[in-house]
Chain A
Amino acid sequence: MDQQIHLIKSIAGQDQQAFQELYTLYSSKVYNTAISYAQNPADAEEITQDVFVKIHKYAAQFKGESSVGTWIYRIVVNTSLNHLKKKKRFSFLSFGQTETHPSDFDHPGILLENKENARYLFQSIDTLPESQKTAFILSFVEELPRQEVADVMELSLKAVESLLQRAKKNLRDKLENAYPNRRK
């Protein structure tokens, strides 16, 4: 843990080696979270790029009040949500011409036999409200401990549990509606 704080301090001092080390430690965590929100590899790359640029830019402002991991996940969540909002605004202005529909999304890390089911799951995740979506992605896609999810979201443990319960109920309802139209 101290080592990661040291890395951040070195990055603040423009140490490129430290930046590369931090990238090696966190790039897949950042990218995996980003792709779960964006459901599109190109957007996930853009979000990952923005996250690391922000880490580099704001490293000097890191006060160590939370762990480095929590701080980075917070940046990923905010950047991803802002990206989604921006994209929604843009697709409204371009009269609905979007390139990839979320339902076509295949998460690259999912086992082959689960791909079809996971497509329905991500399609349903995409319709969840922001806070439920964040709690679900951090808990079940990133598999973070509940306390860390609570720290990232700056909520109590109880509030996170409640968000997850509501998220699961909403997902179940959406899947029930999707059941008659599923591919057999």
Chain B
Amino acid sequence: MKFQNPGFLYGLPLILLPILIHLFASKLQKKSPFPWVKLLFDVKREGHRRRHLLEILILIMRTIAILSLLLLAAKPYKGKIFEFKNLIVDWSPTARPGIPVNLISRIQRLHREINIFYLLDRLYRDSLSFDLPANFGKIGDIHGKTLVISDFQNSNVGNFKDSTVMAVKIPPSEDYLRILDVRVEPGITMKGFETNVKIFLGAKKKTAVRINLYRKGKIVTGGNFEVGPDSVNELTLRFVPPGGGVWKAEVLPYDGLPGNNIMYFRFPVLEALKIGLVGENRFLEKAFNPFKIKNYPLKVIAIKTPLDLADVSIVFLVNPDINTDFFLRIIRYVEKGNNLVIFSSSIPPAFQNILSFRAEPVESVRVVFAGDTIFFKKALKLEGGTPILLDLKGRTLAIKKDFASGKVLIVGLSPYVDDGYFPITPAFVPFVYHLLETFFSAKQKGLIVEAGTPCKLNPDIVVMEPDGQKTRCAKEYFKKIGLYTADSVEIGVNLPEKESEMRFLTENELKRRFKQLTDIENFEKSVLVSKTFDRYFVYFLIFYVLAESIILGLRFKL
């Protein structure tokens, strides 16, 4: 048996105290004359055995009580302590708040022989990865047994030579997913005054969160992220005017959307939009605000051609694969003064001719935000209208032209994904809305989206079929990734419904969700000490106090 505080064992001689008192009590007692002590002898003889047993019992109890007090302070434990020479403590954002302040000093007290002691942040100030083998060079060779305390978020501790490592896993800090102060340093890039803000996040498993960045009590920007262990996420901020300082970042579990879904709803959309808007509709003047999505009662209707366009003010053609009949109807529709948006990288030449556009696929277009589901690698080289959206190299991405009395907008960035087609995702809605608002000042009367063709190869592509029958990609998969399938003519982006579930958790809910065991006691029990006996001593002391009280009570009664 070992002791956590062996110093208290020096008090062991104290247990002799009751024995000595018992032995010498009679000698120390005051003497009283008595006429005939034989009477007293007789009395003692009668109750001698019982009283003697009681006295011995009390003596034993008092001795054990003192012993219990000493042991309670000395904290005996059973089990092995990993006798390490090196201690490495993860001081990364997730682990640091989870390690009690006094943990280090307690460990040092228990293991006086520690000769190397490192806090991880000294080694990995700029890194979130906990990769000991890779970083041995920074701290020199570590020999002998090493104890590593970490939450092991994004960590690698194994396989370094000449050292046995015992890894102590502590849970990530509860505070980690709460309100953080973010130091924002404004920077100037080619895009203007902006900076990337690194947000360190961590969660036991992949989860979706929403980060809002506040300044002076107002949300300045935000984003939805998929968070895993010790992940780092970046928010790009533009400063108008440039500014920095301490910003408040609020991290909230994003309940409303499944993890993967949020990937379609993030800032590259915004960035794409702000790249090269020219003319009177500059992005900076009329920025697209994704946080106002919930106020958009926009309904996207996937229609099956042919359709009646009588009550439709804008037709939004996505990946038009138009037959002659529908083509003629669209032309008539535009001629009547209605708006048409074509969103494609492949526009039939006849259609181009009628509209006086020229759209040639440009394979080499570099898309700024690769992987985004709205803007893909392919683009059109657009000519014949007023360019209103340029890429970083100044190439036209969207043009606008009046056609008869109607207006036509062609967006050249293709929704194609490889051989697939444009998916209708939640992110599509605000983007479309933004286009409508920017270029047509559209009211929310009706937005017609021509259905895309079924996907061919890539299961990431979702094609909405109005009749609900034509979806070739597995529906289950769509559901899994959180996209919407069309089982009826009217498919919904359904944002309002979803948003109703997208509430911010209360603080208590947040605590419950991220409740972690971070206290030192659990740590000690699980790692340093396999078994403690404290409670037995406490039980005995309670028993002793009760028994002594009862005995005292009986004495007074007598």
- Decide whether A and B assemble into one complex: no
Query: B residues bordering A, Cβ < 8 Å?
Result: none
Which residues of A are at the interface with B, using a C-beta cutoff of 8 A?
A: none
